[in-house]
Amino acid sequence: MEHTPHYKIAIVGLGYVGLPLAELFLARGNTVYGIDADERKIDMLQKRQSYLSDYNKNDIRKLFKQNSFHVGSSYEVVEKADVVIYCVPTPLDEHHQPDLKYVTGAAKSSLPYLRRGQLVVLESSTFPGTSEEKLKPILESTGLHIGKDIFLAYSPERIDPGSKWELPQIPKVVGGVTAACTAYAQEVYGSVFDRVVVVSSPRVAEMTKLLENCQRFINISFMNSLLKMCEELDIDLWEAIEAAGTKPFGFTKYYPGPGIGGHCIPVDPLYLLWKAREHHMELPYIELSHQVNEGMPGYIVERITKSLQPKLLKESSILVIGVTYKKDVNDMRESVSIPIMELLQQSGAKVAFFDPYVKALNVGSTLLQATPLTARNMKNFDCTLILTDHSNLPYELLIAHTPIVIDTRNATGKIANRKNVILL
C-alpha cells in the first residue's frame, strides 16, 4: 500500500474556511498549527467551544484528540510547518475596491519564520494576479526565490457553510507560480482531497473562483429583477421557476431573495470588476447586477409599506425572522438583513428579530436582543418579515399569529393555508 506523507500545516485564519481545512488535514494524520488574530476564537478553541454553526463542542474536542492541533495568535509556529495556508478575509473597502490588508498582513507576519522548502498557499477569494503580483514580492523579500527555495500556489476555497457536501469530495483547484510549485501543491492537497484539478497558473485558479461566484451573482440578480416585473403582472415567480426547472436540460434554477450576502457572492464580482477597470475594460453584466442587488433592501421596504396600508410604516411593528446571510448558519458577513432593518428603523418602524443562531444584533446605533418566538409575542407585531429560511422554524405559528407574513425565501411554500402570506 502506498504511504501517504504526513505534513505539518500552518493555517492562518480559523474561520469558516480555515477550521474545516484544519479538521481535514488532522483527520488524515497531519499536524496542524492554527493561527488567528481573533483572541476570542483562540480562547474558545482552547476551552473546546465552538463559534461556528457547523461545529458543536464534541466536534471541537475531536480536533484536539490526537494532540496534533495547536492554536494561538503567534506566527512563530510557521517555522515548524512544511506548508503555510492563508485563509484570511478579503473584504471590500469603503470604495468597493479590494482590501488585501489581511492577506499582505499574514504574509508579512510570516516572513521572519519562513524557510527553504516550504509551500505557501493562498485560499482567500481574490482578483487574478494576487499571488504573483502581491504575495510573490513579499515572500521573495526574504531572499528566497519562488520555485527554487520556497514554493507558492493558489487554491480557491470552495466551502459551503451549512451544506451537506463533505469537504474532501469537493474537487480542489490548484495553480502554482512554477511547475514545481504546482506539483508540491498537488501532492499536499492530493493527500486529503479525493480529486485535485490542476490549472496552468495561479491566475487561472484565482479566476476560477471568481467565475463560479459571478455566475451565481448575475443569475440571482436576474431573478431579483424579474421579481419586480412579476409583481406588476401578478405572476408567482417561484412557481414559474419550479416549472422551468422540470426541463431536463439547459436550465439551472436560481431564486430571488432580499439581496445577496456572504463572504463571496457580494464581494467576488466587484473584485473582478475592479481588475477589469484596471485594464480599462468594463463588465456591464456585473455592474447591472450590482445595481439590482443594491436596490433590493429598498424594494423590500416598499413592499412592506404597501402591504401594511392603510396603516403607516412609522406606526407599525415588524418582526424579522432570520438575519444571517443564509439558512442554517450563524454567519452574518454581508448579511442583507442589516440594511433592511436599518431602513425600517429610519422609516420609524419598530423592529425586532428572531434567529436561532443570533442572540443579539447591532442595527444602526441600537443593540437588539432576539425576541422569543412565542404566539403571545408574535401577536404584538403588524408584520412578520422572513429574510432567512432556517430549517425547523415554526412557520405555521408565524402564519397563525401574525396578520401579515412577507416571505422573501418561499419558506412557507409547503404550507397549505397561507392566505396572509405575501411571497416576494
Which positions are catalytic? 264
Phi, psi at 27, each rounded to 5°: -65, -25
Alpha helices in 198-236 (DSSP H): 202-233
SS3 assignment, position 328: coil
Euclidean distance between CA atoms 9 and 3, whole angstroms: 18
The residue among 117, 116, 37, 121 whose CA lies nearest residue 71 is 37
Residues with Cβ within 8 Å of residue 165, at least 6 apart in sequence: none
Pairing of strands 360-363, 31-35: unpaired
Euclidean distance between CA atoms 33 and 71, whole angstroms: 6
What DSSP line would sit under 230-255, residue for residue? Answer: HHHHT--HHHHHHHHTTSSSS-----
Euclidean distance between CA atoms 44 and 23, whole angstroms: 16
